[in-house]
């Protein structure tokens, strides 16, 4: 079995398992054992820590992806340089965070006081996230995708689940849960460090011969551009929550968090696919094989669209029962799920367009597209949140994803003649809609929303299986998987 096929199977299984734990945490537990403002606080702390870590890394997460194929020799000083610059970046970012505190606190003190109280908790959380990401990037370039996916998507959520249950049984309070939240992030960093320490290809021992001015100039320039590109990308994921917290309140951020997760579930399988394909794109650029990049681009886009549309249609078919199950305070989130789901589906269909640009000779162009994305997000949120509230933030997100993917995809076609689309998308769309729409309008009244969801989902799966076999759509999907496997570097 090829490496990409074997890891693809495990990544898919772990992604689904991780999604299941995430659904249990965010849908079945958080709303019943935490206040809406507490859920909102967890969302903002998590989102900002990701942005914080991205800025602190000085772009070296992307530097690893781009340059590791050139520095595979264990004793070359590259890993030490990554560690050194990331540490310096973290210290400088921490100083900036503390300097900005007097500016940020007045914005949130009235509507989101809880965030102000826990502002400094961002520092240790971001430290763990930063070095966990660095370790993950090194392991990713060694094709250790299954291990890192298990740690971040499964183990971290299982440990979070353990913390929620201790709150549910009144063993700890919310502040103690936040302490536990920090501890489990530290634990994941420790676990990821073990294979790095044992790796025959990576050594963090200093080698100052690595620090040649010409080499550093090349790496730091790429890192700086990647920093801005990555920071804007993560800032985009944070904009809606920050602006809801400022315009509305932390309770609304909590409601938005639950709805956002439901709409984002569809993107989970795409993460597993991308984790495998990204290092292959980097290696293909190194070997000057645009044909392999086009193949990866086309096949990942189609698979991500197929899985994404199926998940989104299934969620929307059951959305009424889902919100009947949740506490009344979360009712406003139902329409948010639709728009967030559409936005994620658009981004998934874009496939690897951002990764292709980011690892290409024209890597700096992706920065411009992300800056355009940020501006588009800010403008649409400013215009729509005051008028439409949570739905406005969701529409702003979907519109921004559409805009940036149109621009980025058009540029890839103009410069490299790469585009992912084919008639298979139409066929897949018709098959999925034909399976889901009849079940959506089927009245199921068992008196239990969860039972309704289970029955309707089974009906959808049965219809989907029948229609897929009759239309032979499974052959198209299998052919795509085979092409993706054949794109693997040997």
Highest mean pLDDT pick, 171-185, 310-324, 348-362: 171-185
- At a CB cut-off of 8 Å and minimum separation 6, what does 119 contact? 101, 104, 105
What would the mean pLDDT of 236-254 be, rounded to a whole number? 83
d(CA 243, CA 253): 9
What would the mean pLDDT of 29-53 be, rounded to a whole number? 90
Tokens for 157, please give them. 């959520």
High-pLDDT (> 90) share of the chain, %: 28
How confident is the model at residue 7, as a pLDDT? 61
d(CA 275, CA 16): 15
How confident is the model at residue 484, as a pLDDT? 64
How far is the CA of 143 from the CAs of 65, 299, 385, in angstroms? 11, 19, 42
- Could you tell me if 233 and 370 are in contact, meaning their C-beta atoms sit under 8 angstroms apart? yes
How confident is the model at residue 489, as a pLDDT? 47
**Band of residue 490 on the pLDDT scale cut at 50, 70, 90:** very low
**Band of residue 1 on the pLDDT scale cut at 50, 70, 90:** very low
Q: pLDDT higher for 164 or 150?
A: 164
d(CA 232, CA 240): 13
Average pLDDT, the chain: 85
How confident is the model at residue 38, as a pLDDT? 93
Q: Taking 70 as the threshold, does the pLDDT of residue 47 lie above it?
A: yes
Least confident span in 231-240, 246-255, 419-428: 231-240
What would the mean pLDDT of 429-446 be, rounded to a whole number? 85
pTM across the whole model: 0.78
Tell me the three-class secondary structure of the chain, residue by residue: CCHHHHHHHHHHHHHHHHHHHHHHHHHHHHHHHCCHHHHHHHHHHHHHHHHHHHHHCCCHHHHHHHHHHHCCCCCCCHHHHHHHHHHHHHHHHHHHHHHHHHHHHHHHCCCCHHHHHCHHHHHHHHHHHHHHHHHHHHHHCCCCHHHHHHHHHHHHHHHHHHHHHHHHCCCCCHHHHHHHHHHHHHHHHHHHHHHHHHCCCCCCCCCHHHCCHHHHHHHHHHHHHHHHHHHHHHHHHHHHHHHHHHHCCHHHHHHHHHHHHHHHHHHHHHHHHHHHHHHHHHHHHHCCCHHHHHHHHHHHHHHHHHHHHHHHHHHHHCHHHHHHHCCHHHHHHHHHHHHHHHHHHHHHHCCCHHHHHHCCCCCCHHHHHHHHHHHHHHHHHHHHHHHHCHHHHHHHHHHHHHHHHHHHHHHHHHHHCCCCCCCHHHHHHHHHHHHHHHHHCCCCCCCCHHHHHHHHHHHHHHHHHHHHHHHCHHHHHHHHHHHHHHCCCC
What would the mean pLDDT of 117-130 be, rounded to a whole number? 94
Q: Taking 70 as the threshold, does the pLDDT of residue 4 lie above it?
A: no
How confident is the model at residue 95, as a pLDDT? 95
- Could you tell me if 250 and 112 are in contact, meaning their C-beta atoms sit under 8 angstroms apart? yes
How confident is the model at residue 394, as a pLDDT? 93
**Band of residue 82 on the pLDDT scale cut at 50, 70, 90:** confident
User: pLDDT for 324-333, tens place per residue?
Assistant: 888 888 888 8
């Amino acid at each position: 079995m090829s490496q990409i096929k074997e890891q693809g199977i495990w990544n898919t299984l772990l992604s689904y398992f991780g999604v299941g734990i995430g659904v249990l945490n965010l849908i079945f537990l958080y709303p019943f054992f935490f206040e809406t403002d507490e859920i909102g606080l967890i969302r903002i702390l998590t989102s900002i820590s990701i942005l914080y870590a991205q800025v602190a890394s000085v772009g070296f997460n992307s530097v690893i992806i781009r340059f590791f194929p050139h520095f595979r020799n264990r004793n070359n000083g590259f890993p030490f340089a990554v560690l050194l610059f990331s540490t310096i970046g973290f210290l400088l970012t921490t100083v900036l965070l503390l300097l900005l505190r007097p500016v940020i606190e007045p914005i949130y003190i009235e509507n989101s006081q809880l965030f102000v109280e826990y502002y400094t908790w961002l520092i240790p959380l971001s430290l763990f996230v930063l070095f966990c990401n660095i370790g993950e990037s090194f392991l990713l370039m060694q094709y250790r995708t299954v291990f890192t996916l298990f740690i971040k998507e499964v183990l971290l959520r299982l440990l979070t689940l353990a913390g929620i249950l201790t709150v549910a049984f009144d063993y700890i309070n919310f502040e103690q849960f936040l302490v536990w939240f920090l501890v489990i992030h530290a634990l994941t960093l420790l676990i990821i460090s073990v294979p790095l320490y044992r790796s025959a290809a990576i050594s963090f021992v200093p080698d100052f011969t690595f620090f040649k001015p010409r080499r550093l100039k090349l790496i730091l320039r790429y890192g700086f551009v990647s920093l801005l590109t990555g920071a804007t990308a993560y800032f985009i994921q944070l904009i809606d929550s920050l602006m809801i917290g400022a315009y509305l309140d932390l309770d609304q951020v909590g409601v938005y968090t639950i709805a956002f997760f439901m709409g984002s579930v569809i993107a989970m399988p795409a993460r597993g696919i991308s984790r495998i394909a990204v290092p292959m794109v980097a290696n293909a650029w190194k070997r000057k094989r645009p044909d392999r990049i086009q193949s990866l681009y086309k096949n990942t886009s189609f698979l991500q669209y197929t899985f994404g549309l199926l998940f989104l249609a299934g969620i929307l078919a059951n959305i009424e029962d889902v919100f009947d199950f949740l506490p009344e305070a979360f009712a406003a989130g139902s329409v948010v799920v639709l728009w967030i789901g559409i936005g994620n589906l658009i981004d998934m269909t874009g496939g690897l367009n951002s990764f292709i640009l980011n690892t290409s000779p024209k890597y700096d162009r992706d920065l411009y597209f992300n800056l355009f994305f940020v501006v588009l997000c800010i403008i649409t949120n400013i215009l729509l949140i005051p008028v439409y509230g949570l739905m406005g933030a969701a529409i702003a997100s979907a519109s921004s994803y559409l805009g940036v993917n149109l621009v980025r995809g058009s540029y890839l076609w103009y410069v490299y003649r790469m585009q992912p689309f084919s008639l298979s998308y139409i066929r897949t769309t018709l098959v999925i809609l034909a399976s889901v729409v009849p079940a959506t309008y089927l009245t199921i009244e068992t008196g239990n929303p969860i039972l309704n969801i289970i029955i309707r989902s089974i009906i959808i799966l049965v219809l989907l299986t029948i229609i897929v076999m009759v239309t032979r759509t499974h052959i198209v999907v299998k052919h795509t998987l085979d092409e993706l496997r054949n794109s693997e570097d040997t």
